[in-house]
Chain A
Amino acid sequence: MAGLLNNLKIRDYITILANRQKQFGLADDSAPAGTDASRALARALHPNRQYLKVAAVTERAEDVKSFTLVPDPERGTKELAYFGAGKYLTVFAEIDGQPVTRAYSISSSPKASLEGRYELTVKLVDGGLVSRYILDNWQEGTPVEVSAPEGNFEYQPLRDAKTVIGLAGGSGITPFLSMAQAIRDGDEDFELILLYGSRNKKSILFAKELAQLEKDCEKFKVIHVLSDSRAKASEGFEKGFITADLIKKYAPADKPYSVFLCGPQQMYAFADKELEKLGLERKYIRHEMFGEFHNPAAAPDYPAGVPETVKITVTQAGETRTVEGASNDSVLQILEKNGIAAPARCRSGECGWCRSLMVSGKVYIPPHLEYRRLADRQFGYIHPCCSFPLTDLVLDVPEAK
C-alpha cells in the first residue's frame, strides 16, 4: 500500500530511540533537589501540625480567655503558617486519655502570624469538655498542638460585595476581629460593618480593641446590639436583637452588600429568618460553620426506636476493635470517648477530614450538615463528626496522623 508520509523516513525513529538512554547518560547524577517553590509554599501554608506554646493569657470576661500562641522550635515548628482572616485552627489535645479536637477561629491578624503570633479566644461552652480544660489548664509555657489554618469563612473579592455586614454573636466575634485588623493592615480590602450582639455592655468581648480599630480604620464600623432589656440605645449601641430592620438601617441602600454570620446556633436560627425578609441573593449570605451538633433526637426527622447504646466495630491502620457508645453522641465522640483518635478538624461536617467508610449500619445525618460528596454518599462514606448511629456500625476509620 502506498504510504501517506512518503518524504519522511522510518529510520528516524530508530535513531531517536537509540539516543534516548544516551541523552540520560549525559545528565547530572547529583542528588535530586526534592523541592521547588510550589512545594515550599504548600508546606509553609499547610503544615500537617504546628507545635506551639502559650506565651500569654488574657482574661477577656468571666470564663473567656485569649491565648497568645508562639512557635515551639524545639518541637519542630519554627514559623507559623500565614492565613487569610477568618480561618480557624484545630486544637489537638488529650484529656484523661481521650483524644479530642476543637476548632477555634483565629482572633489575631494575619500580619501577627508573620511576627510569630496567633491568638485564640476560648469561651466556656455549657458542659464543654475541651473549653473547660483549656481555660483551666493552658498557662504561659503550655505546649499546644494545632492544625494549619483551615476553613472557608473568608472575604473573596471576586465573589463578595465590597461592603460586608458582619453579624457576630458572643465569641463569634473572633473571625471578624481578625478581618478588621486585616483591613486596617491593608491585607484585605472591603468595608466591614459589624453588628455585634452581646447581652450588655459588660459582656462585650474586645470592646476596647474594636473601638480602637474603628478609630484606626475608616472601612471598619461596629454597632453593639445589646439584648438585655435594661440596656439603652445610644451612639454605636442598639437595643434588642439583630433584625432585618437593623441590618437595613446600617447596610448601604444603593449598592449590593454581603452578610457574614458567625455565632451560636440560636443566633443563626434567628438571623436566617430575618435575612429571608431582605430577599438577598444567596451568594451574598455566608455562614461560618455551625459547630458541633448535639442532641439529634430532638430533630424533627430523627427516626423512632433508636437503641440508647450501640456497638461500633472499628478498623484503623489494620487493627480492629469493638467499642460501645450512646446513640445520642456523634460517631466521632463515641470513638474519642473510647480512646480512638480520628482525623477530625471542623467537627461541623464541612471539612471532610474525618471521612470514613461505613461498612455496615445506619446513621442519622442532620440535613443542614450534609456536606458529603455525592459519590461518597453512594459508596457508604460518612463524616463521623456529624453522623449519629442508629444501629450497630462497622467502620473503617483513617489514622489521625
Chain B
Amino acid sequence: MRNNYDVIVIGAGNGGLAAAATCAKAGLKTLLLEKHNLPGGSASSFVRGRFEFEPSLHELCGVGTPDNPGDIAKTFDELGAKVDWYSHDETYRLIVPAEEDDPEGFEGENGVRVKIDAAMPAGFEAFSRKLDSIVPGSYESSMKVFHLSTLMYEAFDDLNSGKINPVKFLTKYGDVFKMAGHTVRECLDELGMPKKAQNIFTAYWCYMGAPPMRFDFLYYMAMMHGYVERGASMPHLRSNEMSCAIDKVIREAGGEIRYNSEVTRVLMQNGKPCGVVVNGKTKLFAKQFICNVHPNFAMPDFFRPAQIPADARRKINGRSVAASLFTVYLGMNRTKEQLGIHNYSVFISTADDSDDQFRLVQGKMLGNYVIINCLNEVIPDCSPEGTSMLFLTGITYGDVMQGVRPEDYKKLKTKIADEMITQCEKALGIDIKPYIEEIEIALPPTFSRYLNTPNGSPYGYQLDLWDSMLSRTIQYNKDQPFDNFLFCGASQERGDGYGCAYYTGKKAAGLVIKKLKEGK
C-alpha cells in the first residue's frame, strides 16, 4: 500500500535523522517527515551576505581522530555518511573579569582586570598541569577525576559486553555507582579539588545546562572526558553538512524524506497510534513511530487530551525545561588576528562559581554570562579572506519572553545583542562593534520557531540528580507514552548535544527494527 510504512519518523532533527537512517538501512519502509524545508533542526546553517553561519554547534567532542574515533565519528562511519571534520586541541578559556577593588584581581591580557583567565588545553595531563599552574595543588585531584572517568568508560564497555557478573561489577566499579548518585560538587569536594580549580573545571556546565550542585558526576564526566581526551571537532561546511550527509544516506537506503511536511495530527486505533495527518490533509499510516518533536508540544499538538495517557501528562507537567539561549551571529570585516581573537571558545562570566553562574541567569534576559566562539580558529577558511565569524551565546532559564509584545521584539533583540557584544569586548579587551558587516540575533522565539520546543530550549528537560541520564536510560520504557511511539532527541535520556540526539535516534530505531523483525 502506497500510504503505508513500517515506520514514520516525525521531525528531521539530529535524532530523527539518525533514526530514519538506521531504519532505512535495516530495510524498513521508512518515511521521514519534517515541517521545515531542510533537515537538522539545530544542525543547519544560514547565509547572510558573504557569510554562512553555524547556527548552534559549539563543538563535537565525539569525533576524535581516525585512530581514536569517538561515538559521532563511529555513527557516521556505520551509516556511511561522509563529513569533512576539522579538529582543535584546546578546550575552553574561562574569563571572570574582576571589579576594581577585588583583591583577587590581576591584570590579564590587553590590560583587562580579571579574577580568572584560564585557557585549557586538551589532553588529561596537559589539562591537569595547566589547572595546577593556575591553582597550585590541584594536579592530583584533576588526574583523579580523569582516572574515575576512564574507569567509568571501562565499566560501560564491560556492561555492553555482558560478560561481567553483577557482584564483580559492583566490586570493581563501586566508584562509578557513587558518581551516579552524587553531584559534580560533592564528588570534586570528596576528591579534594580546591574551590578555584573546581570553578575552572566545572565551567563546561554551560554546554550541558546543569550546574555542578545539581548535575550527577557520572554524566558530567562522560562528556568532559571525551572533550578533554580528544579535543573538539567541527564539520567543514557548518553542521548542515552533517545533516545533508545523513539525508543522503536515508535516500540511498530507499527511505523517503518529505520536507515542508508538518504532522498536524496522530491517528489512533485501539488506543495506539496508527497514522499521521500531514499538513492538515494527507493521511499516512505506519506500524511504528519515532518522534523527534519535544513531548511538551508533540503530545498536545498531535493528540486530543483524552488520548494522552495520564502518566505522559504527569511527565510533561512534572519536569522543568532546560536552558534557553540567546545567540548573536556576527560576520566581521576583519580577520581574527586583526580583532585580537586567538581562542575558539571563551566563557565569560561575572561570577566565578559555576553554581552562581547558573543562579544568576535564572529568568533573566541580560548579562552575566556569555560564550564567544570564533569558527575561523578551527576552520580558517570558513569565511572569505579578510573576514571572520563570531558566535555569541547567552543562557537563560524559564519563560522569559512573557510580556514581550511583537512590536517590542526587534528592539529587544538589538538591546540584548548590544549587551552581549559589549561584555565580550570588555572581557577580551578588544573592539568588535565597528567591524560588524552582518549580524543576526536569535532569541528563544527564534529557537521556538525552528526547533519547536518549550521556551525555545534546545536542551530538552533539565538534567538533574533525580532525573539523570543514567536513570532515564534505565527507565526508558516507562517514559514512552505508547509502545509503538518512541521519542528521540534532546528531550530524552542524554539531554542536549548532537551526539546525544543521534544516540537516542539510533536507539529508538534499534528497538523498532527489533520489534518489526519479531513480527510485533
Contact = CB atoms under 8 A, between A and B. Distances in A.
Most chain B beta carbons < 10 A, residue from A38, A187, A376: A38
Contacts of A7: 190
Given A42-B446, A159-B439, A17 B37 contact: no
B296 A32 contact: yes
Interface stretch (A23-31, A128-136, A199-207, A298-306): A23-31
A314 B148 CA distance: 56
Contacts of A26: 318
Nearest to A286: B49
Contact of A379 (B247, B296, B468): B247
Contacts of A14: 181
Contacts of B247: 379
Contact of A27 (B37, B248, B261, B315): B315
A253 interface: no
A15 B178 CA distance: 12
B153 interface: no
A293 interface: no
A224 interface: no
B414 interface: yes
B282 A158 contact: no
A29 B314 contact: yes
B510 interface: no
Given A317-B282, A371-B47, A38 B315 contact: no
Interface in B404-419: 404, 406-407, 409-410, 414, 417-418
A32 B301 CA distance: 10
A127 interface: no
B202 interface: no
A158 B296 contact: no
B406 A44 contact: yes
Given A28-B314, A45-B445, A13 B177 contact: yes
Contacts of B2: 318
A88 interface: no
Contacts, number: 248
B421 A158 contact: yes
B414 A157 contact: yes
B471 A16 contact: yes
Interface in A333-361: 343, 350, 352-355, 357
A32 B299 contact: yes
Contacts of A372: 47
Sort chain B's interface into a size bin. Answer: 35 or more
A367 interface: no
A378 interface: yes
Interface in A10-58: 10-17, 19-21, 23-34, 36-39, 41-42, 44-46
A13 B181 contact: yes
Interface string B217-233: 00000000000000000
A81 interface: yes
Given A1-B172, A16-B181, A42-B445, A36 B454 contact: yes
Given A32-B300, A42-B449, A20 B471 contact: yes
B29 interface: no
B455 interface: yes
A156 B257 CA distance: 37
Interface in A185-241: 187
Interface stretch (B238-246, B336-344, B498-506): B238-246
A8 interface: yes
A283 interface: yes
Nearest to A31: B305
B313 A38 contact: no
Contacts of A23: 318, 466-467
Most chain A beta carbons < 10 A, residue from B178, B256, B301: B178
Contacts of A279: none
- Describe A's contact surface by its main secondary structure: loop
A12 B186 CA distance: 13
A373 B55 CA distance: 13
B4 to A, nearest CB: 12
A41 B474 CA distance: 37
Nearest to A44: B406
A375 interface: yes
B324 interface: yes
A373 B52 contact: yes
Contact of B45 (A10, A27, A375): A375
A34 B300 contact: yes
Nearest to A399: B260
B178 A21 contact: no
B256 A318 contact: yes
Given A13-B180, A375-B238, 6 more contacts: A4-B147, A17-B475, A23-B318, A32-B313, A375-B243, A398-B37
8 contacts: A8-B186, A27-B319, A32-B296, A41-B401, A41-B404, A317-B278, A355-B38, A401-B262
Interface of A: 1, 3-17, 19-21, 23-34, 36-39, 41-42, 44-46, 81-82, 84, 110-111, 114, 152, 156-159, 187, 281-283, 317-318, 343, 350, 352-355, 357, 371-376, 378-379, 381, 396, 398-401
Interface of B: 2-3, 37-38, 45-48, 50, 52, 144, 147-148, 170, 172, 174-175, 177-182, 186-187, 190-191, 237-238, 240-241, 243-245, 247-248, 251, 256-262, 278-279, 282, 296-297, 299-301, 305, 308, 310-311, 313-319, 324, 333, 399-404, 406-407, 409-410, 414, 417-418, 421, 433, 435-439, 443-449, 454-456, 465-468, 470-471, 474-475, 478
Of all A-B residue pairs in the complex, the 8 with the closest CB atoms, nearest first, are A27-B318, A13-B181, A34-B300, A12-B181, A398-B260, A283-B437, A37-B401, A82-B406
